A and B are shown apart, each in its own frame.
Chain A
Amino acid sequence: MEKVDVLIVGAGASGAAIAWSLAETRMRIVCLEQGDWMKPTDYPSNHQNWESRAMGEFSVSPNRRGRDTDYPVNDENSPISVANFNGVGGGTILWAGHFPRFHPSDFRVRQLDGVADDWPIDYETLSPYYDENDRMMGVSGLAGDPAYPDKPAIMPPLPLGRAGERLGAAFNELDWHWWPCDSGIASTQYEGRDECINLGACLSGCAQGAKASTDITYWPAAIRAGVEVRTRCRVKQVLMGDNGLASGVVYFDESGDEITQEAEVVIIACNGVGTPRLLLNSACDEFPEGLANSSGLVGKNLMFHPYASIQGIFPDELDGPRGPVDAIWSQEFYETNLDRGFVRGFTYEITRGRGPTATALTGMGSGRIPFGEGHHDAFAKMLNRMTGMVAICEDLPELHNTVTLDPTLTDAHGIPAPKIDYTLSENSRAMLDYAMERGSDVLKTAGATDILTEAPLGIGGWHLMGTARMGQNPKASVVNEWGRSHDVKNLFVVDGSLFVTSAGVNPTRTIQALALYVADNIKKRLANLFDD
């Protein structure tokens, strides 16, 4: 294989963004992706049994999905299971498109609240990259949200619908903040994407092409600019050369052949579990505890966002599954107020409703819908009458929450699989309980006659962060303040692993802004990129 200038591992949210940004340099850029290109005709909403398909081959759980493009994850020692997707687009294939930014305070938690650590960058640093990413991904939303500094709105907001209107009015009655959510779902035609037609199946892939998965946003532009994507290529190891720099990677191609690809620069974009897994699997004589791991922090400080679910059953019909999953958000409880019994805070993401099968399964599982006599009457009281919210709670970094290598479990190519050890902190537990209480207040105010709560959501490990954190101190971080490994000067990380803290919002918009920021730093330093 001919040596390339830049090798990117992973074609998801961040790999796509940095590939597109670096393409203007005219360097030879190759991206290796272990999954496939997606076919919109395969997405569940093309099929009558869309809800079953969403729970099976399009499940967010790699262990349940079990595609040959997936790798298993041992998360038995965690109350929260890892969610991901392996394919061009990565996690954005199955995401809801809920697209909040971090807040200025999220970068300064040590300074403001005396916990965790401050980031080496701030909101102002990332702001232009947020804007650039918003243009590339296409954001629907409404300017003027009082929970944020000014930010542009690209497309009109998604419809409130009956659910958003009902809960928005309840937030008003309580005098609590709410706002139409920023969304990666196109409310109008945008850059070749069609507008949302309210399929209600966002979480299993968008057949309409309205949702901003990077296979239809960044990648077409990056490929037009000369980037090559190789699918079904699973990277086994990053190789070190004699000069203290990474020399490339070894990967298995579609045929199972082991290929060595040399590169001047290696960028890892495999998410907060896949990235430490690859670094740990790349241990060598120089780095026996894992590549770029002189700090000992590769795989440490794993953060999820513990989720609480608060759902209400209403006496009248709402939206059900008819509409994009998200409608509005509330950040009333975002900033720290110690009177609540915990530090930091959370976002309420108001979710619209669910389909007939999910409604029936929920009713059955919670004992609200019996079989036999009374089944139809009980079901009718729930169909299209459920709505509510999830609370996305800020998780603080803790050294004992880790990604390591499983001693026995491997993927189909024999590469050791990741093992998750994670404990919910007392702060998170208190935040989840508070979120369920206040969320129940909202639903009661909105007229709910019955409320279902659950926390933490066991399936809710969508956000994988903190396992190769950024910072200026090589002893306290894995990469520097612009994403370059402290130890290996041509090795970069650009995914959620970089996060110093998790904030109380979905991370994708920040992950992508960070990838564009790292790309810009690489471009500015091309002449002396590997210098100390």
Chain B
Amino acid sequence: MSDVISSDQGFTADQRRLLASLLGVMIPADKGRNLIAASDDAIVESAIALLLPHRSAIITLLEQLGEEPALWLERLNETVPAGPLLKSAVIQAYYQNERVVAALGMGEGPPFPRGNKTPQGDWSILEKVRQKGKIYREV
């Protein structure tokens, strides 16, 4: 996500590593779909940019995660407001990453000026509506 300001201000190297591990648990890789994990450096950077305004809550969450990654998702669900903030941030960071969007088949780069193809559809199905006649109320 090249146009999100990336910064590690506010998070120590240890906190960043732990956050990356957590993101990787939240959205793991899927090799069959050619999808990377959310622990990817660019995705972590994007998530951190979104989370910086909530730095202290996120650091508290990281401190409370514990040693066992298998329990992290459960812990995440119990932590308010940091849990929902982190979930929203990882989704935004992940599903707007260029590699992820391309792997999903949603095109490369931003929508403009690329644009999209939209099929016209079958206009003949309107005939049935035409045959119904007017439905508005006269005054």
Interface residues of chain A, those whose CB is within 8 Å of chain B, are 43, 45-52, 103-105, 107-108, 111-112, 122-123, 142, 144, 146-149, 159-162, 164-165, 168-169, 171-172, 175, 177-180, 197-201, 207-208, 319-324, 331-332, 334-335, 355-357, 359-361, 364, 371-373, 375-376, 380, 383
Binary contact track B100-139/A, C-beta < 8 Å → 1, others 0: 1100101001111101111111110110111011111111
Q: A52-B50, A52-B96, A356-B95 are in contact. Are A322 and B112 (CB under 8 A)?
A: no
Taken together as a complex, chains A and B put the C-alpha atoms of A356 and B113 apart, in Å, by 19
Assess A46 versus B121: contact at CB under 8 Å? Given A146-B129, A147-B136, A323-B116: no
Enumerate 16 A-B pairs (CB-CB under 8 Å) in ascending A order: A46-B112, A47-B3, A48-B3, A48-B109, A51-B95, A112-B139, A161-B119, A198-B115, A199-B116, A320-B106, A322-B116, A332-B135, A356-B101, A357-B92, A375-B27, A376-B33
Assess A149 versus B26: contact at CB under 8 Å? Given A159-B119, A197-B115, A376-B35: no
Cβ–Cβ < 8 Å partners of B128 in chain A: 172
Given A104, A200, A380, which contacts B139 in the complex, CB threshold below 8 Å? A104
Apart from A43-B112, A208-B112, list 14 A-B contacts with CB within 8 A.
Answer: A46-B112, A51-B92, A122-B139, A146-B129, A146-B136, A160-B119, A162-B121, A168-B121, A168-B125, A171-B129, A175-B132, A207-B113, A335-B136, A356-B96
Is B95 within 8 A of A357, CB to CB?
A: yes
Question: Are A373 and B92 in contact, with the CB atoms below 8 A?
Answer: no
- Which of B33, B122, B126, B129 gathers the greatest number of chain A CB atoms within 10 Å? B129
A160 to B119, CA, bound (A): 7
Which residue of chain B has the shortest Cβ distance to A317 in the bound complex? B105
In the complex, chain A residues whose CB is within 8 Å of the CB of B91: 357, 360-361, 364
Residues of A near B2 (CB, < 8 A) are 48
- Give chain B nearest CB distance to A141 CB in angstroms: 13
Cα of A47 to Cα of B2 in the assembled complex, Å: 9
Which B residues are in CB contact (< 8 Å) with A46?
Answer: 110, 112
The answer to whether B130 touches A356 (Cβ under 8 A) is no
Task: Please measure, in the bound complex, the distance between the C-alpha atom of A282 and the C-alpha atom of B18, giving whole angstroms.
Answer: 56
**Is B76 close to A, CB under 8 A?**
yes
Instruction: Report chain A residues within 8 Å CB of B88.
Output: 361
Task: Return chain B residues, CB-CB under 8 Å to A383.
Answer: 104
Tell me whether A49 and B133 are in contact in the complex, defined as CB-CB below 8 angstroms, given that A159-B118, A160-B120, A200-B111 are known contacts. no
Q: Name the B residues within 8 Å of A51 (CB-CB).
A: 92, 95-96
From B96, B101, B119, B129, A172 is in contact (CB under 8 Å) with: B129
Residue of B nearest to A149 (CB): B136
Quick check: A177 and B135 within 8 Å, CB to CB?
yes
Residues in B with CB closer than 8 Å to A108 are 139
Which residues of B lie under 8 Å from residue A48 when comparing CB positions?
A: 1-3, 96, 98, 101, 109-110
Cα–Cα, bound, A405→B96 (Å): 40
B interface, CB within 8 angstroms of A = 1-4, 25-28, 30, 33, 35, 46, 50, 73, 76, 87-88, 91-92, 94-96, 98, 100-101, 104, 106, 109-113, 115-123, 125-126, 128-130, 132-139
Chain A nearest Cβ from B54, distance in angstroms: 14
- Say what secondary structure dominates the interface of chain A: loop
Contact B139 A161 (CB under 8 A): no
What 3 pairs between A and B have smallest CB-CB spacing?
A: A160-B121, A197-B115, A165-B121
Instruction: Tell me if B139 and A52 are in contact (CB < 8 A).
Output: no
Query: Taking each of B27, B110, B112, B135, which has the highest tally of chain A beta carbons within 10 Å of its own beta carbon?
Result: B112
Shortest distance from the beta carbon of A206 to any chain B beta carbon, whole Å = 9
Q: Which residues of B contact A180 (CB under 8 A)?
A: 126
Smallest beta-carbon distance B57→chain A, Å: 18
Q: Which A residues are CB-close (under 8 A) to B1?
A: 48-49
- Chain A hits for B111, CB < 8 A: 45, 50, 199-201, 207, 321
Task: Say whether B116 contacts A198, CB under 8 Å.
Answer: yes
| Smallest Cβ-Cβ distance to A178: which chain B residue | B129
Output the nearest chain A residue to B96 by Cβ-Cβ distance: A49
Q: Contact at B118–A161, with CB atoms within 8 Å?
A: yes
Bound-state CA distance A284–B133 (Å) is 55
For B33, give the chain A residue with the smallest CB separation: A376
In the bound complex, CA of A375 to CA of B38 (Å) = 12
- Distance in angstroms between the alpha carbons of A364 and B129 in the assembled complex: 38
- Alpha-carbon separation in the docked complex, A200 to B128 (Å): 29
CA of A319 to CA of B50, assembled, Å: 29
Chain B residues with Cβ below 8 Å from A320 are: 106
